[in-house]
Amino acid sequence: MQRQRVVAVFLSTVIAAVAVMATMGGLVLWFGETLNPVRAWWSLELALGGVAVALAIMAVLHVGLLAGEAFSAAAVRRRAGEWELAWVRGASGEAQPSVRRRDLVAASEAAAAVLRELTGEAAVAVRLALHETGITANDIAVASRVRGSRGWRRAVSVHGGGWPSRRATAALQRLAWQAPAEALPLFLQAATSNELAHARAALLGTCRCLGEAPHESDLVSAVIEVITAHVGMAERAGVARPFLAGALTNAGDGTLAVCEQLVASDLPEPIKAAALDALAIMQPEGAVVVVSSALLAGLTGEALAAALRTLAAIGVAPDECQTVILAATHHEDEGVRVQAAHALTSVPPEIGLPTLWRLLGDASFEVRLAAARAARNSGTWGWQMLLSAIELHPDRFARDSARIASWGDGDPAAAASGTPLSAAATLPAPAQA
C-alpha cells in the first residue's frame, strides 16, 4: 500500500503540473492574440479553475487511498483476531482449523502472535497444526526466496547471504516466532543475510527453536554457529549486543549453555557482553558459576563491565570473585568502576562498604553516584554508611553524591526539600542486610 500511495502521489502531481502548464500556455497564447482585459481575466479564471480541479483530484485520490488503507488494516486486524482465536481454540484441544490458500499469511501471522505468548503442550499443538496445514512449508518457501540472477542465487545459497524480499523477511520473522524445527536449516543459512532484519529473524528463530526443543544440547552448537556467522559479518558485532541479549532470553533452558560457550569463546567483547546481559535478565540456575568463571579467566572492557553488572543483578558473588571485583574498582574505565560499585552489593558488607566509602570520593560523578546508590541498596549497614557519608565523608563531592542517593530515585520533591537527614527520614525503611 505504501508503494501504491507513492505512485498515486506522483501521478496526481503530474496531472496537476500538466493542468497548470496547459492553462498557463493557453493564457500566454491568449495574451498574444489580444490584450482585451476581459478575456485576460477570463483566461486567468480558467487557469485557476484548472489548478483547483487538479488539486481536487489529488485530494480525492489521497482520501480514497487513506480510506482504502484504513479499511484494509481493519480487515487484516479482524482476520488476524479470528485466526488468533482459531489457534487458541486449537491449542485448547478443539479441532484445528483448515486454512485456505488466501489465508496462509494471515493465519501464519496469527499463529506467530499466539506462539509468542504460549509454550508447552499447547504450543506444540499449534506447531503441529501449522505443519499439517502447510503454513510452515509455505513460509519456508517464501522466506527462502532471494533477489538476483539464478547464478547469484546459487552463490548465496552456498554462502547464506543474499538480498531477501520484504515478503521473505516477513515470512522468516513469522517462522522465528513460531520456531518450527524444520525451519532450522533456513535459519542457519539466513543468519548471514545481507539484510539485517532477515539475519536477526534467523538469530531469534534459532534461539527460540532451542528454547522449545526437548533436548537443548542438540541445538546449542547450532545457536553458537548462527551467532558466530551473524557477527562474523563486518560491522555487526558492535551493534549486536541489545538484540542478541534479547534473542538469547528466548532460548529457554538452553540460555545458560549457550551463554557459557559464548562467554568462554574468542568472539568480540560485545557478544560476550550480550551473553552476560542475557544471564542478568534470565538469572538461570548456574549463572553465578558461569559469570565468576569468566571473571576469573579474565574479561576486559565491555565484557568485564557486563559481568560485574550481572553479578550485581543476581546479588551473589562467590568469595573467589571478590578480588576481581575489588580490582575492578581501580579500573581506568569509568564504566567498569560504575559496575564494580554495583557489584559490591553482592559481597559481604565488611568488604564492600569500605570500598564503597572510597568510591564515593572517585573522580567520576557517575562512579560516586553508583557507589552511593550501591550503599543505599546494601541493607541496614549500607544505609547507615550512606547517612554517615552525608555528614562525615572528607570529600565534598562524596557528601553531595551520598545526599542525592539518600533522596531516592526520581523524587524531585524530596530532592528540592532541605536537609538530607530529614529527607532520609521520610524514606521507607531500608532492606535488612
Partner 1 sequence: MQQSMSEGNAVPKRGLWVVDDSLAFRLIVQQVFGRAGWSVTEFSNLNSALAALTVSPAADVVLLDIHLPDGNGLDRVADFGKHGLAVVVVSNLVRAEQTRRAFAAGAVDIITKPVDVSVLMARVERAAGAAEG
Contact positions toward partner 1, by CB under 8 A? Answer: 80-81, 84-85, 88-89, 91-92, 110, 113-123, 246, 249, 280-281, 283, 313-315
Q: Locate 282 and state its grid cell.
A: 534470565
**At its nearest, how many Å lie between partner 1 and the CB of residue 291?**
14
SS in 3 state form for 10-67? Answer: HHHHHHHHHHHHHHHHHHHHHHHHCCCHHHHHHHHHHHHHHHHHHHHHHHHHHHHHHH
Residues 6+ apart with CB under 8 A from 417: 423
Task: Give the ranges where 315-433 is alpha helix by DSSP (H).
Answer: 322-328, 334-343, 349-359, 365-376, 379-392, 396-406, 412-416, 420-425
Q: Which residue lies nearer to partner 1 by CB, 84 or 216?
A: 84
Are 244 and 273 within 8 A, CB to CB?
no
Q: Which residue lies nearer to partner 1 by CB, 169 or 310?
A: 310
Q: Which residue lies nearer to partner 1 by CB, 193 or 206?
A: 206
Torsion sign over Cα 180, 186, 191, 195:
negative
Q: How far is CA 370 from CA 120, 136, 155, 344, in A?
A: 41, 49, 52, 10
**At its nearest, how many Å lie between partner 1 and the CB of residue 315?**
8
Determine which helix (DSSP H) or strand (DSSP E) holds 163, and give its type and residue range: strand 163-164
Q: Which residue lies nearer to partner 1 by CB, 183 or 282?
A: 282
**At its nearest, how many Å lie between partner 1 and the CB of residue 249?**
6
Q: Which residue lies nearer to partner 1 by CB, 174 or 393?
A: 174
**At its nearest, how many Å lie between partner 1 and the CB of residue 275?**
16
The residue length of the chain stands at: 433
**At its nearest, how many Å lie between partner 1 and the CB of residue 122?**
5
**At its nearest, how many Å lie between partner 1 and the CB of residue 222?**
21
Q: What is the Cα–Cα distance from 363 to 389, expressed in whole angstroms?
A: 16
Q: What is the Cα–Cα distance from 191 to 193, expressed in whole angstroms?
A: 6
Q: Which residue lies nearer to partner 1 by CB, 119 or 165?
A: 119
**At its nearest, how many Å lie between partner 1 and the CB of residue 104?**
18
Q: Which residue lies nearer to partner 1 by CB, 122 or 385?
A: 122
CA 204 vs. chain centroid, Å, equals 11
